[in-house]
Amino acid sequence: MNSILPESFSETSKDQLRVWLKILKITGRIKAEIRRRFRDEFQTTLPRFDVMAALYRYPNGLKMSEISSQLRVSNGNATGIVDRLSLDGLVLRVAVVGDRRANLVSLTKVGQEVFQKLAQRHEEWISQLLGDVAQDDLQTLSTVLDTVNERIRNDI
Amino acid sequence: MNSILPESFSETSKDQLRVWLKILKITGRIKAEIRRRFRDEFQTTLPRFDVMAALYRYPNGLKMSEISSQLRVSNGNATGIVDRLSLDGLVLRVAVVGDRRANLVSLTKVGQEVFQKLAQRHEEWISQLLGDVAQDDLQTLSTVLDTVNERIRNDI
DNA sequence: CAAAAATATTTTAAACTTAAAATATTTAAG
DNA sequence: CTTAAATATTTTAAGTTTAAAATATTTTTG
């Protein structure tokens, strides 16, 4: 239902804020649900999934710094997640020949198999949770997001 | 609900996943930027701002459990944030007469004044970051999000 | 070559986050 | 009234997150 608020162009920033808070609320709820399902069904977490997804796209491995820049998290953050994935035998750190500072991190065979299962379920979950959104609206949403993304890129 | 063929379904779910990842990427970037500005300009954090915003809407105070349900965070999480706000003199815990289990948390006078400054800048930032999005697109985005929100409510 | 700068990563400290367990208190049931 | 259940909150343990400092190595520069 549309509210009875007066149409005022000076209210734009309030409208923007309202939409932004709505975005946060909904993405938060979806993320919480995905997190819950990963925990219940696979005893894993979203950050672990994100790191495994990045590594899956690069079978030759990624340096630690490449993982953090890909996922836009701090180096220290990546270190901790990779440490724990490594303890579970899902990823491997391999020394880079010619640069003793760097490591190449890649999924183990088991890690690849586990990720494929996770990714399939994850895609099903997202599809289910976004299920009622029309194809047209999805396209609009995507375009709007591109605009925002461009704005941010030029702005920050 | 979704009675289309497996192939079409598969394509759609990939599209949905793509849009979802785009949403995550952009909201993540905006949140990171807001977090950075809160830190640099006010030496505070987004979670603190969120708690203060909830308390500002309820001048008579909120119980700890009301804070956590409003913000959809765990009780323990709220405890920590309120603890730290309290150390800074921005919020106050007041015993509830007739129920020695509960506390009413509210902003102090200083807390209210600080929040007003934070909220004004926050609104400016969001407006700036979403600045290029047309009013129509904003309305579409809002409607799409309502649809998703409804879907989740019925689904989770 | 030697010192300085740049790069790659880890460590650290503080805050945030969750789920689950623990504590305290109130309400409901028998 | 007494016990059991429900409610309100905090504590705990493990993981995530960030920024900044520390360590190690490589590259650049004088």
Partner A, chain B 45-64, Cβ-Cβ below 8 Å:
none
Rounded to 5°, the CA angle A29-A116-A134 comes to: 45
Q: Assign B2 a pLDDT band (cuts: 50, 70, 90).
A: very low
Question: What residues have CB less than 8 Å from A8, skipping those under 6 apart?
Answer: none
**Residue B148 near chain A (CB below 8 Å):** yes
**Whose CA is closest to A33, among A122, A146, A97?**
A122
pLDDT given at position A156:
57
Whether residue A134 is predicted with pLDDT greater than 80 in this model: the reply is no
Partner A, chain B 81-110, Cβ-Cβ below 8 Å:
none
Question: What residues have CB less than 8 Å from B115, skipping those under 6 apart?
Answer: B49, B52, B53, B55, B56, B90, B107
Partner residue opposite B20 with nearest CB, options A32, A130, A156: A130
Least confident of A128-137, B7-16, B49-58: B7-16
Looking at residue A138, its amino acid is L
Residues of B in contact with A16 (CB under 8 A): 126-127, 130, 133, 138
Report field, pTM of the whole predicted structure over 0.95: no
* b (16+ CB within 10 A) / e for B109-128: eebeebbeebeeebeebbbe
Find, in chain B, the residue whose alpha carbon is nearest to that of A20.
B126
Q: Give A70-92 pLDDT, tens digit per residue.
A: 999 999 999 999 999 999 999 99
With CB atoms and an 8 Å threshold, state whether A156 touches B126. Answer: no
CB A130 within 8 A of CB B20: yes
**Residue A5 near chain B (CB below 8 Å):** no
Residues of B in contact with A53 (CB under 8 A): none
Q: Give A17-75 pLDDT, tens digit per residue.
A: 888 888 888 888 889 899 999 999 999 999 999 999 999 999 999 999 999 999 999 99
d(CA B106, C1' C14) / Å? 25
